[in-house]
Amino acid sequence: MSDCRASAFEHGQLPGALELALVGDSVYDLYVRSHLVRKGGRVKDIHKNAVKHVNAHAQAMALDKIEAELSEEEAGVVRRARNAKQTPTKNADAGDYHKATALESLFGFLYLTGQTERLDRFLALCTDMEG
């Protein structure tokens, strides 16, 4: 089985901001849900708690927590994603939605480039969760 991260850069360039966000959304969701499952509890309660972390408003606030720690390259990924043309969902504030996409794009970038220590650090800071 091949590593999906290795094949992401066959043409020598990163995927677009929204493609990075697609991957980052899954990474973030998996991190949150895995942490909550390890803590234990009823599935219904785990799901409700996960939804509190994995939504546009919570993710926008999470980006605010780490933005000062971003490298130039990471800040560029965030900026491009925040400015990407997209239509917010009907339930989300447009500003929150763009910031959430930027956070997801950052996580997709870190995951696809194999920067797992950096990714783990930011995930823990953003969610106030460890491990």
d(CA 85, CA 6): 27
Question: For position 128, what pLDDT does the model report?
Answer: 77
Whether 58 and 74 have beta carbons less than 8 Å apart is answered as no
CB atoms within 10 A of CB 41: 12
Q: Three-state SS for 88?
A: coil
Q: Are 17 and 81 in contact (CB under 8 A)?
A: yes
pLDDT of residue 10: 58
DSSP 11-33: TSSPPPHHHHHHHHHHHHHHHHH
Mean pLDDT of all residues belonging to the chain:
87
**Amino acid at position 85, single letter:** K
pLDDT greater than 50 at residue 6: no
Q: Enumerate the active-site residues.
A: 25
Domain ranges of the chain: 16-127
- 124: closest CA among 51, 28, 40, 48? 28
Under 8 Å between Cβ of 56 and 93? yes
- State the pLDDT at residue 93: 86
**Model confidence pLDDT, tens digit, residues 66-118:** 999 999 999 999 999 998 887 777 777 888 999 999 999 999 999 999 999 99
**What pLDDT score was predicted for residue 14?**
78
Alpha-carbon Rg for the chain in angstroms: 15
Specify the CATH number for 16-127; select among 1.10.1520.10, 1.10.3720.10, 4.10.410.60, 3.60.10.10: 1.10.1520.10
